[in-house]
Amino acid sequence: MVPEHNALRPQFTQPVALSALALTLGLEHRGDDTTVTGVALASSAVQPGDLFVALRGVNRHGSEFWPEARAAGASGILTDDDGVELVNDPNLPIIRADNPRAVLGAVSAQIYGTVGDEGPTIFGVTGTNGKTSTAFLLEAILRGLGQATALSTTAVRQVRGETFRSSLTTPEAPDIHAMIARAHEEGVSGIAVEISAQALDKNRLDHVVCDVAGFTNLSHDHLEDFGTMENYLDAKADLFTPERARTAVICVDSTWGQQLARNVDIPTVTVGHRGSGDAQWLWESVPSDQGMTTLRVDGPAGESITVDVPLSGDHMLANTALAVVMVVNSGVSPADFAVMGPGTAGIPVFIPGRMEKVSGARGPQVYVDAGRSADAYEHTLSTLREQTAGQLIMVCGTSGNRDATKRPIMGATAARLADVVIVTDDDPRREDPDAIRQGLLEGARSVPGAQVHEIPDPSEAIRLAVSLARDGDTILWTGPGSQDYRDIGGVKVPYSARGEARHALTDAGWGQQ
């Protein structure tokens, strides 16, 4: 667990006067003047000298928490007209904006000094599946090349190996600018950032310009936010504009990737599986020894890069190829990749919660995975099927308050590709967990002959899976991945799928890693 106080911020910032900040950005300054040295969106995150940002929430306005923010040391407040009225203090140092979220990136860039081209090379990755894996691969490749690195993903944020808490796929604007400032301060040369469509839609990446933007794929997901796949792609495409990225690398193994590549107006190169389509960079793989895969990526000018990677499955190798080409696109010579080629330790990557093995040498092989889409199910199950001599058992649940239309498709995919499907609870959030399970069960039970169980308690579900398994079988538990909590009714309850799976194996007499 990462300590709550472990805030990812620069250690030193130059104080900025609110009046000067407002003047620079064309905003309105009210009340007394003061200086600020940081930005906080939540009163619980305020540090002395911060500008507290008070936004309109679903149920309450952030200005209601000004007393707590002030007690924590906030110097001033950024808010809207409603917030000004709520704090009701004519002397309070205030920056007023019609839409504070829309200016939050610009404000954060000024306060943290991230304006301009100085700082680490920024690699941004978007897509439905593979964002986290590609970000981890980018960081590992850069580290393998001897660079100091930083990483921002759903699973974790790191600067030069120091780990910080992560709760969003892409941090809010103050947090991402603070991270870039800290990375620059510590001499980081490359930072990999996982970027969601929601982050782009909600201004979290404002005033962050990626040197290289990458696209993995697009599949049925998040339609609760975007309505149609076309709208979903349009939200992702916002990353591939001059305001957000200088160059792009796009995987064109899918029709969505091909469509995106045709419409991008920044310098772009494409990458794809050899024989699957028209791409400038082509990859292919051959199995290697001791859990490694050898990946070869060939470029349009005769370049050829061969690396070993401790991953398997075409989806993971496509992510690896994308990461390799993104690093080349940043200016690294293809010859430099020899340090990770055959005969070496390969790319030094470990991706938590992505087809992560939690079992030992004896008994069934058990993997936890963060996949929560039919596309993720298909890729992971297909890969494990090739590696499994016996039966393939799947434990699956999915998130509440998310796109419900994908659940029957997920359930049907699970039942089609696994021998046994156990539907359980995952992160119900504020939705009825029974309704979530019924969506998955509807699809799973539509597959003729499918063996389907419903076990609401995930700890009981993994124990059932282990009881059904024998040596040579494989169990895949999808949904929780590396999460250390379950969101139940809006409360994050500590929970580890890894730990529960290992306990189940131990109780069954199989031991653990």
Q: How far apart are CA 290 and CA 277, in angstroms?
A: 31
pLDDT tens column, 346-392: 999 999 888 899 998 889 999 999 888 998 899 899 999 988 999 99
Which pLDDT does position 52 carry in this prediction?
A: 97
pLDDT tens column, 396-411: 999 999 889 999 999 9
Indicate whether 427 pLDDT > 80. Answer: yes
Q: Is the Cβ–Cβ distance between 83 and 10 less than 8 Å?
A: no
Encoded tokens for 343: 């005969």
Q: Side-chain half-sphere of 82: how many Cα atoms within 13 Å?
A: 12
pLDDT tens column, 273-288: 998 768 999 999 987 7
Q: How far apart are CA 374 and CA 371, in angstroms?
A: 8
The DSSP call for residue 228 is S
CA-CA-CA-CA torsion sign (163, 166, 133, 378): positive
- Supply the mean pLDDT for the chain: 92
Region 50-59: mean pLDDT is 93
Q: Is the Cβ–Cβ distance between 463 and 430 less than 8 Å?
A: no
Indicate whether 4 pLDDT > 80. Answer: no
* SS3 of the chain: helix, strand, coil, percent, to 5: 35, 25, 40
With tokens 């009701």, the residue in question is: 88
Alpha-helical segments (H) within 186-313: 197-201, 223-226, 229-237, 255-263
Indicate whether 3 pLDDT > 50. Answer: no
Q: Is the Cβ–Cβ distance between 479 and 410 less than 8 Å?
A: no
pLDDT tens column, 153-190: 987 899 999 988 766 667 899 999 999 999 999 999 99
Cα end-to-end distance, the chain, whole Å: 20
Encoded tokens for 221: 């997901």
- Give one DSSP letter per residue of 78-142, joined into a string: EE-HHHHHHH--TTS-EEE-SSHHHHHHHHHHHHHT--SS-S-EEEEEESSSSHHHHHHHHHHHH
Reference 146, options 352, 348, 350, 351; nearest CA is: 348
Instruction: Let me know if domain 121-340 sits in CATH 3.40.1190.10.
Output: yes
pLDDT tens column, 428-476: 999 999 999 999 999 999 999 999 999 999 999 999 999 999 999 999 9
Give the SS3 label for residue 214. strand
Encoded tokens for 250: 């796009």
Indicate whether 128 pLDDT > 90. Answer: no
Give the number of other Cβ atoms within 10 Å of residue 300's Cβ.
11
Q: Is the Cβ–Cβ distance between 294 and 337 less than 8 Å?
A: no
Instruction: Let me know if domain 16-112 sits in CATH 3.40.1390.10.
Output: yes
Cα radius of gyration (the chain): 24
Confidence at 259, pLDDT banded by 50, 70, 90: very high
Region 218-234: mean pLDDT is 78
Q: Where are the domains of the chain?
A: 16-112, 121-340, 356-507
User: Between these two residues, 494 and 118, which has the higher pLDDT value?
Assistant: 494
pLDDT tens column, 81-91: 999 999 999 99
Which pLDDT does position 167 carry in this prediction?
A: 65
Region 16-29: mean pLDDT is 96
- CATH number for 356-507 (one of 1.10.220.10, 3.90.190.20, 3.30.1780.10, 3.40.50.2300): it is 3.90.190.20
**pTM value?**
0.86
Confidence at 225, pLDDT banded by 50, 70, 90: low
Region 12-37: mean pLDDT is 96
Confidence at 137, pLDDT banded by 50, 70, 90: very high
Indicate whether 129 pLDDT > 90. Answer: no
